[in-house]
Chain A
Amino acid sequence: MSARRIFILWRHYIYSIKRNKGRLVDIFVWPVLELLVFGFTANFLNQEIQNEAIKLMAILLGSLVFWHFFAKISGEVYQQLFDDVLSKNLKNIIMSPVRVGEMIIALIGAACTKLVVSMGILLFVAKIIYGFNLLVDWRYGFLVLTLVLWGVAMGLLVSSLLFLLGNKAMTLAWVVTGIVQPFSCVFYSREILPGIFRMISYLVPSSYVFEIYREMIKTGNFNWQLWGLSIGLSGLYFLLGILLFNFFLKLSRKTGVLARI
């Protein structure tokens, strides 16, 4: 492992937003716009229902912000890799002294850096416009930890598909967070889901996070047992992500997919 190479790659991935203005919109502007829509919707519903106990604002905005922790980091991990594929630059990086572990650390490090800035802006806007502050309870940090680990794992799993399917994986990647969202029960309880969907949702770490969050809003209690389950599951997916990234990269040398990327 070389700290110099990790730093150089981290900087390379961070620069992707400086160089490409479209990516700036994707990371910073889009989440804020979504926050505005959900915030005003929650305001409207609160006025209509006139029932403070429902705490719609907290549930809708909080869930949306939490969801972005997962969606942004998973998207960033694979998007950084895809940026190099689209430039036909990935082979230059792979056929260099860079080791796979260094690449993975740099991908995760750069994605986390962008997440901190992106979520900082989102939290700031939520506080200024809606007076909604997610930083009031330190226990939320544990929920964020699960979502970041699960997001990184998902990013690595999607990235590994690139080495299995080639450029076709890029089309598939866009829908992955879309597929995960219904099973994450972001805005509704798990009980709403029909049988098979509910079974699948038990395998999705984010579903526990949103369950814990809603319970916190209603009762103030943090369900540590569910959190343990969610972080354990995320850890497993993270290990699986690293293993598959390595495995499919090696496999792509055998199948020739790497030469066609």
Chain B
Amino acid sequence: MIIEAKGLTKGFGKKKVVNGIKIQIERGEILGLLGKNGVGKTVLMNILTGLILPNKGVVKFEGVSIESDLQSYWEKINWASAYQSLQLHASTKENMETFAGIYGVGKDEIDEVLTLVEMNEDKLKNRKLFLLSSGEIGRVNLAKALLNRPEVLFLDEPTAFLDPVFKKKLIRILKKINKEWGTTIVFSSHQLDEVVSLCNRVIVLRNEKVSYAGKVLNNKKLISYF
């Protein structure tokens, strides 16, 4: 088991978002995180990545609480969200160079990940992010998240702004890095088809709790747990 979370409870003010959730993530699996809007998928992912602290509960990476050395945890994982960006006034290349420097990786890794997300053309690489489409920014976000060959990759609705063609390609890319790099992937989405075609296992959230955790079911059955 690569990540284990127990008794995760988080609320803002009087409203509880997740309550006593237990999650186990096996090394090398692709886990889908599902649920209605506002059910707490992003909050749960933020807790698992260490961005926010739960009110109660603990997240362990390889058996050790992530709070004991958060920076070294962040060296090993990475994340991307459709609702985040990199520096908008910098080009794709400049952004990649910044994060490659932060993660201590070189130009070869930059070329590799940009090629993977099909952003390695010079005109795309040298264009400032604010001149790119939302989908292209999403691809650059993903490239950043792959730079350090993470052991665990957290993706929060990564397909939200992607065109249908690249959505399919993304599924292929994620399967490839899962197989070749051994990267564990935690993937949240509203697109059940994507989850069904990508994930080995799913967790469905409902009313602050896990309503289903197990193998991927067909769409109709999955929706019944929403």
Binding site for B on A (CB under 8 A): 4-5, 7-9, 11-12, 15-16, 19-20, 83-84, 86-89, 91-99, 253-256, 258-259
Residues of A within 8 A of B42 (CB): 259
B191 interfacial contact with A, CB 8 Å: no
Question: Looking at chain A's contact residues, is the secondary structure mostly helix, strand, loop, or mixed?
Answer: helix
Residues of B within 8 A of A19 (CB): 87, 89-90, 94, 128
Task: Name the one of B43, B94, B102 contacting A15, with C-beta atoms under 8 angstroms.
Answer: B94
B7 interfacial contact with A, CB 8 Å: no
Residues of A within 8 A of B87 (CB): 12, 16, 19, 83-84, 87, 89
| Complex-state Cα separation, A259 to B43, whole angstroms | 8
Residues of B within 8 A of A20 (CB): 89
Residues of A within 8 A of B85 (CB): 87-89
Q: How far is the CB of B106 from chain A (nearest CB, A)?
A: 12
Q: Is there contact, CB below 8 Å, between B74 and A89? A: no
Residues of A within 8 A of B90 (CB): 15, 19
Binding site for A on B (CB under 8 A): 10, 12, 42-43, 46, 49-53, 71-72, 74-75, 79, 83-90, 94, 98-99, 101-104, 128-129, 144
Q: How far is the CB of A89 from chain B (nearest CB, A)?
A: 5
| Complex-state Cα separation, A48 to B182, whole angstroms | 80
Q: Given A4-B101, A8-B101, A92-B144: A97 and B71 within 8 A (CB)?
A: yes
Task: In the A-B complex, list the 5 residue pairs whose CB atoms are closest, starting with the nearest.
Answer: A8-B101, A19-B89, A87-B88, A97-B75, A88-B85
Q: Given A95-B79, A99-B71: A16 and B89 within 8 A (CB)?
A: yes
Q: Is there contact, CB below 8 Å, between B74 and A95? A: yes
| Complex-state Cα separation, A96 to B102, whole angstroms | 7
